[in-house]
Amino acid sequence: MSQSNLTLKISFESLIDTISNLSIEDKQKLWEILDEQLHPSQPEDDYDWGKEGQPETKPVEYIQGQGLIVIGVKSDPK
């Protein structure tokens, strides 16, 4: 069986009107689909950390031009 593609152009306003007429259940399904596309699961979400679980992490801050920097850690006197 061959597969065909269909391209349909709908204005954003028409899309909003159509969504507003959906049932609560269909809106929930749509929400789940959009949430998955906006926040795809990362491979590390499925990582098996073993019986001890995920190790504690240190707080970090993003600094433009430098990247992630560990914050709130005393400097090593060496």
DSSP 52-75: T-SPP---EEEETTTEEEE-S-PP
Count Cβ atoms below 10 Å from residue 27 Cβ, excluding itself. Answer: 13
Q: What is the pLDDT of residue 11?
A: 94
Q: What is the pLDDT of residue 46?
A: 65
Residue type, 42: Q
Domain boundaries of the chain, sorted by first residue? 10-43
From the list 18, 19, 17, the residue with the least C-alpha distance to 30 is 19
Q: What is the pLDDT along the chain (78 residues), one digit of tens a residue?
A: 677 888 989 999 999 999 999 999 999 999 999 988 888 766 555 667 788 877 788 888 888 888 888 887 665 555
Q: What is the pLDDT of residue 63?
A: 84
Q: Are 72 and 59 in contact (CB under 8 A)?
A: yes
Q: What is the pLDDT of residue 56?
A: 81
